[in-house]
Amino acid sequence: MAPAYDVIVIGAGTAGIPTALFAAARGATVLLIDAADRIGGTLHLSSASISAAGAERQRTRGIVDSAERHFQDCLRINHGTGDLGKLRLWTENAAATVDWLFENGLAMGPDQPELNWSHEYYDVARTFTPPRGGLDCIDVLLPLLQAEIDRGRIDLRLNTRMRALRTTPDGAVEGALTINVDGVEQVFVGRNTILACGGYNFSETFWGVLHGRPRRTYAYPQSMGEGLTAARRLGAYVNYTDDFLPTFGGTVDIDNPNTYWVHTRVGPARRAPWEISLNLNGTRFMAEDNPSPDARERALAAQPDMAFWSVYDSAIQRDAPPLFLWPREKIERAFASHADFRVANSVEELATACGLPPGAVALSVARYNAGQAVGSDEFGRKHMPAPLVEGPFFAVKHYGCCVVSPAGVATDDNFRVLREDGEPIPNLYAAGEILGMGIFGYAFLGGAMVSSAMTFGRLLGDRILAW
Ligand SMILES: Cc1cc2nc3c(=O)[nH]c(=O)nc-3n(C[C@H](O)[C@H](O)[C@H](O)COP(=O)(O)OP(=O)(O)OC[C@H]3O[C@@H](n4cnc5c(N)ncnc54)[C@H](O)[C@@H]3O)c2cc1C
């Protein structure tokens, strides 16, 4: 069958849309498919903080920065881990992505870029966060996409799910087998196929198989890892399965138990802590006011089940700034209905309700209180406004959680998907979260995912015909 398209892009999300736009601008005929009934993918949920060095907006604010400085700063944060080739490619090309978004109407306040506190701080303000997060990015991308569709350069098919990649007898990819919402199967043939269909963060199966853990994530429902599955069937190597850092301290959302995300102000950047954190052995494991997100994430990663209980008493509940980001009604419902939210008259009863060893919990509280009384904490905690003495006592279970899939397919610096032996699978490329967050090393680099997904998509679209 003759190829109908120069490029088939699977996934009309963060990476896939720029890929399709830049390929079309180079004159390619592009098929863009998405399993969902709308474009945008994870941008519908994402805060979409975007980091880049040397963008026009950074320069006009007088912030001195460079791609090299960004690269070195990333290595400082991730301690030299990660895919250095991809880090170079991202840091050298991210500014052009940000400039492109601004040129096409992305609007932000004069305070942007900023030093973003959700991850380890960069050494200079280089993170841009749109007021409505990813929705603002969709507002920029949609008209650009519509213009290319109107010109006939992009053929967009929504409600169209890639089920498998189609190969020639010698193993080269020549397109995709798809199924639409009515159950109709169709084969699309193209010279190059690009997997931009996101990660696996909504898949219990992937979390079990790759990480041996339950899924505790906040993710787009289409992030089922189908791109990884299709690539693995062709022998693709899946990288970064063995270690990852969780985001510090999410709880279950009682109104959406599929979702774990940050619903409390447990991090000192949001609110200096009044509570103590106890792991599943009933012991403290860090200074709760440690300001380094990286140190906090590493400490949590080392705890049993990457989980801890935030424990406080009635005086703290009454006197401290609010712990929860939820309204009072929802907090009361949580304590009345969910096993991760416990209240009891004594510390020992609370421990039993939480499934923690009562003796260990009582000792942890007593030691904290004794240190608090003299202003000297065994973990070096500085902010200790009150002891835990007044019943009833409260406990909220927190988990290390993830908004990004840690593992992903291995690719070379031209985004060709690699087999276990390091050889590329002919005509198959990948960009976006399907590469895994591991490319950024054993650390969170703030604003790296959206920025790199768009940047790699842009580069891939721009260069694929030449490659
Ligand atoms: C709550 C939240 C907050 C976040 N905040 C940030 C942040 O501030 N900064 C940052 O850098 N990152 C952030 N991230 C991560 C970042 O948003 C994602 O990593 C990134 O958007 C993923 O881009 P992608 O193109 O790989 O996937 P997506 O944008 O999800 O696009 C994939 C597309 O593929 C489609 N698809 C899936 N399977 C198939 C199939 N079989 N066939 C056809 N189509 C398919 C999906 O419908 C989707 O449209 C956040 C994520 C979440 C969930």
- CATH number of residue 320's parent domain: 3.90.700.10
End-of-domain residue from the set 365, 383, 401: 401
Where residue 334 falls among pLDDT bands split at 50, 70, 90? very high
Atom in ligand 1 nearest the alpha carbon of residue 16: 25
Give tens-digit pLDDT for 213-262: 999 999 999 999 999 999 999 999 999 998 889 999 999 999 999 899 99
Give tens-digit pLDDT for 190-200: 999 999 999 99
CA–CA distance, 11 with 19 (Å, rounded to integer): 10
**Do 274 and 182 belong together in one domain?**
no
Where residue 201 falls among pLDDT bands split at 50, 70, 90? very high
Query: How far is ligand 1, taken at its centre, from the CA of residue 371, in Å?
Result: 45
Residues with CB under 6 A from ligand 1: 10-16, 33-36, 41-43, 45-49, 161-162, 196-198, 218-220, 222-223, 226, 403-404, 432-434, 447-451, 453
Q: How many CA atoms, within 13 angstroms, populate the side-chain half-sphere of residue 345?
A: 0
**Do 67 and 139 belong together in one domain?**
yes
Give tens-digit pLDDT for 72-129: 999 999 999 999 999 999 999 999 999 999 999 999 989 999 998 889 999 999 999 9
**Do 12 and 101 belong together in one domain?**
yes
**Do 348 and 201 belong together in one domain?**
no
Average pLDDT over the chain, rounded to an integer: 96
Q: What is the pLDDT of residue 243?
A: 80
End-of-domain residue from the set 351, 372, 401: 401
The two structure tokens encoding residue 36 = 């969902």
- Closest protein CA for atom 41 of ligand 1: 162
The two structure tokens encoding residue 410 = 């291995």
Query: How far is ligand 1, taken at its centre, from the CA of residue 175, in Å?
Result: 22
**Do 388 and 421 belong together in one domain?**
no
Strand 127-128 to strand 307-313: parallel, antiparallel, or no bridges (unpaired)? unpaired
**Do 31 and 72 belong together in one domain?**
yes
The two structure tokens encoding residue 360 = 């260990």
**Do 196 and 334 belong together in one domain?**
no
- CATH number of residue 219's parent domain: 3.50.50.60
**Do 384 and 419 belong together in one domain?**
no
Atom in ligand 1 nearest the alpha carbon of residue 13: 31
Cα–Cα distance list, 162 to 106, 123, 225 (Å):
31, 42, 11
CA–CA distance, 117 with 293 (Å, rounded to integer): 8
Number of structural domains (the chain) is: 2
**Do 346 and 424 belong together in one domain?**
no
End-of-domain residue from the set 371, 401, 431: 401
Residue 128: give the domain boundaries. 5-238+404-464
**Do 51 and 163 belong together in one domain?**
yes
Where residue 283 falls among pLDDT bands split at 50, 70, 90? very high
Strand 424-430 to strand 185-195: parallel, antiparallel, or no bridges (unpaired)? parallel
Atom in ligand 1 nearest the alpha carbon of residue 449: 11
